[in-house]
Amino acid sequence: MKPYVLIVEDEEALATLLHYNLGKEGYDADIASDGEEALLMVSERTPDLVVLDWMLPKLSGIEVCRCLRATQSAQKLPIIMLTARSEEDERVRGLDTGADDFITKPFAMTELLARIRAVLRRANPSLIEDMLTCGDLVLDRTTHRVMRADVDIPLGPTEFRLLEHFMSQPGRVFSRTQLIDAIWGTEIDVEIRTVDVHVGRLRRALNANAERDAIRTIRSAGYALRAD
C-alpha cells in the first residue's frame, strides 16, 4: 500500500508541485488548502504523514498541529512543517508544539522528499521498506502490486522477482548469469535463454501503456532498469 501524505498548503502552485512530486515518488497524496479542511480530512482518513504549512487561512499550522496532538488518533501522526520563518525561536516553537521536522522555504524538493522518507522510516519502517519506487514505477512487496504511472501492471511471480531485483539497484547492469543466481538460485539449472524470455515478458508488461522502454538491453552485458 502506498504511504498516504496529506499536503496542507494554501499556495496553489506549491501545493500542486508537492502533489506531483509525491505522486512521482510513489506516494498517495491529497491537498488541504486551509487549517479547518486539514482537520476534517484527517478525521475522515488518517494519513501516514502530514506536510503542514505554518501560515494558513482559518487555522494556522501551529493551531492545526496542536489540535492533532490533542486528538488521540493523531497524537503520533508524523508532521513536517513548512515555513518562510527562519528564526530559531519560531522553529523551536513549531517543534515544541509537536512537529517532527521543520523545513524553511524556499527548499529543494529533493531535501523535502528525503526528510519525508526519514520521518516515515522512524515512525513506521515497514512503509518504506515494503515499497520500491523508480521514476513512475512503484512496487509493493506486501501486496505484490506493481504500478506504472498509477496504472496497475499484472505480473507473474518470476517477472515480479525480476522487477524487484532491478528496482533494488536502478541503473545497474545485471548479466544474465547474475540474474539466474538472484532469481532462480545456483542449485537450479536454468538456460540463458530463459532469462531473455522472462525479461521480455516483464518488458512487454511494463511498456504496455507507456511510451518509453523501462528496461535497457546492453549488448554483451545484460539488462538494466532505467534510473531516470
Q: Write the pLDDT tens digit of every residue in 156-201.
A: 999 999 999 999 888 999 999 999 988 988 767 888 899 999 999 9
Instruction: Copy the grid coordinates of residue 111.
Output: 531535501
Which pLDDT score, from 0 to 100, does residue 209 have? 83
Which pLDDT score, from 0 to 100, does residue 10 have? 94
User: How far is the C-alpha of 107 from the C-alpha of 150, rounded, in Å?
Assistant: 27
**Is residue 21 helix, strand or coil?**
helix
Grid coordinates 508541485 are at which residue? Answer: 17
Hey, which bits of 54-209 come out as E strands? Answer: 79-83, 101-104, 131-134, 137-140, 145-148, 151-152
Measured CA to CA in angstroms, residue 150 lies from 27, 96, 97, 120, 206 at distances of 10, 37, 36, 21, 12
Q: Which CATH superfamily is 4-126 part of? A: Response regulator (3.40.50.2300)
User: How far is the C-alpha of 208 from the C-alpha of 115, rounded, in Å?
Assistant: 34
Which pLDDT score, from 0 to 100, does residue 81 have? 92
Residues of the chain with pLDDT under 50: none
Identical fold at 4-126 and 131-225?
no
Measured CA to CA in angstroms, residue 134 lies from 48, 104, 164, 189 at distances of 21, 27, 11, 31
Domain range summary for the chain, segments of one domain joined by + = 4-126, 131-225
Which pLDDT score, from 0 to 100, does residue 151 have? 86
Q: Topology of 131-225 in CATH?
A: Arc Repressor Mutant, subunit A (1.10.10)
